[in-house]
Amino acid sequence: MAHQTYSSSTREARILRAYAGDHIKQLRIQAGMTQKDLADKLALKHYTFISQLECGQGRLPPNLTIKCAQALGQDVEEFALKILSFYDPHTFEAITYNKKKEHING
């Protein structure tokens, strides 16, 4: 079995979830939406999920990434990569590795 070096229960993961939540909150505010507005656009039963998300207590489910980006008026790919950078930094690094390499090498 492979060794997992990143756990969602570590201090680092909790901090990154809080950053993700703050990012979503700022986008929601910029869009002029309440937590209930966003929850409604995501077809969530409870708007309190948005509060938990924004406080870093939860994660945006992957199946809602596109819908959330669209609801917030964001480019889907950019939004997805940003969220991935918070929730799964190792995968984000792997996906963006060549772009970083190209940028450094000019």
Give the span between the Cα atoms of 69 and 27, in whole angstroms: 9
Q: What is the pLDDT of residue 78?
A: 97
4: in domain: no
**Inter-residue contact 85 to 95 (CB < 8 Å):** no
24 in a domain, yes or no? yes
pLDDT value of residue 102? 60
Nearest to 6 by CA among 81, 80, 87: 87
Quote the tokens at residue 28.
């929601």
Res 1: pLDDT: 42
Q: Rounded to two decimals, what is the model's pTM?
A: 0.84
Structural domain boundaries enclosing 64? 11-105
How many structural domains compose the chain? 1
Q: Tokens for 42, please give them.
A: 């995501």
Does residue 84 lie in a domain region? yes
Does a structural domain hold residue 76?
A: yes
> Is the residue at 2 inside a domain?
no
User: Would 46 be classed as within a structural domain?
Assistant: yes
Q: Tell whether 5 is covered by a domain.
A: no
Please give the pLDDT value at position 100: 65
- List the one residue out of 20, 9, 36, 29 whose CA is nearest residue 72: 29
**Measured distance CA(71)–CA(8) in Å, rounded:** 26
Phi, psi of 62 (to 5 degrees): -55, -35
Chunked mean pLDDT (size 10), the chain, 106 residues: 59 95 98 98 96 96 98 98 96 87 59
Task: Determine, yes or no, domain membership for 20.
Answer: yes
Which CATH number is 47's domain given? 1.10.260.40
Q: From the CB of residue 49, how many other CB atoms can be counted at a distance below 10 Å?
A: 19
Task: Give the pLDDT confidence score for residue 3 in this predicted structure.
Answer: 44
